[in-house]
Chain A
Amino acid sequence: PPWENTIEGIIKGFQRVAAGKIGLCVSNIEKRQNTGLSYEDAWNMTSVQLASASEAHCRAILLYTYYTETEKIVNTVSPALRQVLLQLVDLYVVYWALQRLGDLLRFTSISEKDIDELQRWYEDLLTKLRPNAVGLVDAFDIRDEILRSALGAYDGRVYERLMEAALRSPLNAEPVNSSFHKYLKPFMQGKL
């Protein structure tokens, strides 16, 4: 089937990858059995491919469900939010297509030109989402007490919080640690 450089086309591509990988596993198990291996040994010899097929199946489910479930909700939200939610779906699907190019090249009719377009599409999506990057994580609405991070606090006082955290180290409770008198000083003076 011809490759379609659309979200639906990519999802279908992932389903082809999963189906193709499962089919190959079945065929390889059978081939190995035909050489005299037991089913269990044939399974074991094919298990790297089987795990990969299983992951491909899961990716196909993840992409399909994310896409279809988002389609159900986008008509209930404002146009501005709708646009961002759809950009995120696009980003996720295109990202995984680029991550799994080898599989797509093997099991679908994707071409080099299609891949170039996918890469540009991905970079374009990053640029489009960039202005909303902080808004998107603010929407996870995780309070500082829950986030518990010097780097991620809502007010962005990163360096002040890092220093506050450093000062809480028990080693900073005294100016000179006892190990200096016990070990370092005698060692430095050649007495240890």
Chain B
Amino acid sequence: VNPDLQRERDKCTFNVTELINLIDGGVQKTEERKKQEDMVLSEGIHIEDVPSEYLSHKEKYELAVKKACLLFKVIRKMQEEDNAGMENYRAVLGGKLGSAILQDGSPLTLHYVMFIPTLMGQASVEQQVHWIGRAFDLNIIGTYAQTELGHGTFIRGLETTATYDPSTKEFVLHSPTLTAYKWWPGGLAHTANYCIVMAQLYTKGQCHGIHPFIVQLRDEETHMPLKGIKIGEIGVKLGMNGTNNGFLGFDHVRIPREHMLMKNSKVLEDGTYVNSPSSKLAYGTMMFVRVVLVTDMCNYMAKAVTIAMRYSAVRRQSQPKPNEPEPQILDYLTQQHKLLIGVASVHAFRLNADWLWNMYNNVTAELDAGDLERLPELHALSCCLKAVSTADAAECVERCRLACGGHGYMLASNLPSTYGLTTAACTYEGENTVLLLQTARYLVKAWQQAAGGNALTPTVSYIATVNSGRRL
């Protein structure tokens, strides 16, 4: 070990293991995490003959698919051993482990993070029985297509149509324009054979807004795109080049009526539309992802600040006092200013992410019981926390890169690809300014409620209690 780094460790005033356990949530959780890491890393999937940075775009994708499959094999082994449910999927694929093995993103991420959760949240019990087992076993690979070339966060503007035909009991999916093509979904291009598609539902000549449909894209044997499916990859991006983002168009594609996810709204055989208790229920998947994203951002920030802090303990620079050695750059206050706030931010966002996750679980339990009261509050919170956590994380990673000078610019530092992953999150699942404005709608309503003397929900209750204004 580098002597400067060892000296730093020797002078630490607290027990590092105690903090590790606290962050993990207890000694047992730390042991479980380490066991998971040992199990995954012992497979050697992360070891590359040729550094993936030097591969072509096509080769990067092929390697990402290979690694994703091998990783899935490990998870299956874990499931057989301890039957831990979704936990292993989240820990291995969504956490630090997944991004270590698939540095530039995984083509299967959306299968676990959006396809399966949407089935769980939006499909009827019968539909869940039919689809979820196959999805968990990876007999089918799914993704989630909502954004279109012409429309993003404003989902009421989506153009893809699903028109019910009662004579055949089928929906006809169609992309009426180029701007109606689905655009961005990870895994859509060449990986998934099924997809949940958000489309404007038409029945009996009337539009009922966007609804989720499960659509088969490719033949399960040959993987060839099915008739009327126009599909491909969107091309190279700033980062996440292993995620296989795709485009998708429909030319009057017919799917059975049962392929509309019908937990909330339904279309009966004769075409009668049965409304959901709240139009907001269809946005459940986006809310789930925004909540999970806050935890992801903690992981990226922790990585970046670990890299920059250790480097700053080893790197020596300049000679502020004559006849004395170059100091460690960590001794400069400006460097501490750049990095220690990163450490604090990880802890701040981790505790906020846990708090938001608990709230999400409570609110979804209330939703299942038919109580929708706190849904707008959760929506507003998940929007602004997603926006601020991703923006802060991207800024933190960039600050860490700058803290490492030119060496931070090297891909070998892993800071550029970490930046690629964090800054991507500023735009996916809703561009940050748009999300802040969604929260603002809730805040304006809350203000008006407070002005009218009405009670406010807990997270905005301060509006009614604090007085603002500058003292003269």
* A and B found bound together: yes
Q: Which residues of A contact B (CB under 8 A)?
A: 1-2, 12, 15-20, 22-23, 25-26, 29, 47, 50-51, 53-55, 57-63, 65-66, 69-70, 73, 77-78, 80-81, 83-85, 88-89, 91-92, 95, 105-109, 123, 125-127, 129-143, 145-158, 161-162, 165-166, 168-170
Partner pick for A140 among B30, B344, B346, B388, CB 8 A cutoff: B346
Q: A51-B436, A151-B311 are in contact. Are A146 and B97 (CB under 8 A)?
A: yes
Starting from the known contacts A47-B440, A51-B437, A53-B443, 17 additional A-B residue pairs (CB-CB under 8 Å) come to A18-B462, A19-B468, A22-B440, A26-B447, A50-B440, A57-B460, A62-B388, A77-B18, A81-B14, A109-B470, A126-B333, A131-B13, A134-B9, A151-B414, A165-B410, A165-B412, A168-B54
Q: What count of chain B residues pass the 8 Å CB interface test?
A: 96
B128 within 8 A of A: no
Partner pick for B313 among A61, A66, A134, A161, CB 8 A cutoff: A134
In Å, the complex CA distance between A141 and B23 comes to: 10
Residues of B within 8 A of A125 (CB): 340
Residues of B within 8 A of A2 (CB): 471
Residue of A nearest to B4 (CB): A156
Contact B16 A158 (CB under 8 A): no
Q: A54-B439, A91-B340, A92-B341 are in contact. Are A138 and B470 (CB under 8 A)?
A: no
Contact A70 B2 (CB under 8 A): no
Please tell me which stretch of B196-204, B217-225, B348-356 contacts chain A, meaning at least 4 of its Cβ atoms lie within 8 angstroms of it.
B348-356
Q: A23-B468, A91-B344, A123-B333 are in contact. Are A145 and B41 (CB under 8 A)?
A: yes
Q: A61-B381, A131-B13, A158-B314 are in contact. Are A17 and B468 (CB under 8 A)?
A: yes
Q: Which residues of B contact A (CB under 8 A)?
A: 1-2, 4-6, 8-9, 11-16, 18-20, 22-24, 30, 37, 41, 46, 50-51, 54, 96-97, 100, 103, 302-303, 305-315, 330-331, 333, 336-337, 339-341, 343-349, 351-352, 354-355, 381, 384-385, 387-388, 404, 407-408, 410, 412-415, 433, 436-437, 439-440, 443-444, 446-448, 451, 459-460, 462-463, 466-471
Residues of B within 8 A of A106 (CB): 470
Q: How many A-B residue pairs have CB under 8 A?
A: 301
In Å, the complex CA distance between A23 and B462 comes to: 13
In Å, the complex CA distance between A61 and B346 comes to: 15
Contact B9 A135 (CB under 8 A): yes
**For chain A, what secondary structure do more than half of its interface residues adopt (helix, strand, loop), or is it mixed?**
helix
Residue of A nearest to B100 (CB): A146
Contact A15 B18 (CB under 8 A): no
Residues of B within 8 A of A29 (CB): 444
In Å, the complex CA distance between A142 and B51 comes to: 21
In Å, the complex CA distance between A139 and B4 comes to: 18
4 tightest Cβ-Cβ pairs between the two chains A and B: A156-B2, A152-B307, A135-B12, A20-B468
In Å, the complex CA distance between A135 and B16 comes to: 6
The 25 listed contacts between A and B (C-beta, < 8 Å) are A2-B471, A19-B466, A22-B440, A54-B384, A57-B384, A58-B384, A60-B462, A61-B352, A63-B348, A66-B348, A69-B354, A81-B14, A95-B344, A123-B333, A130-B336, A131-B11, A137-B343, A140-B306, A143-B41, A146-B97, A149-B303, A152-B413, A155-B1, A156-B4, A166-B412
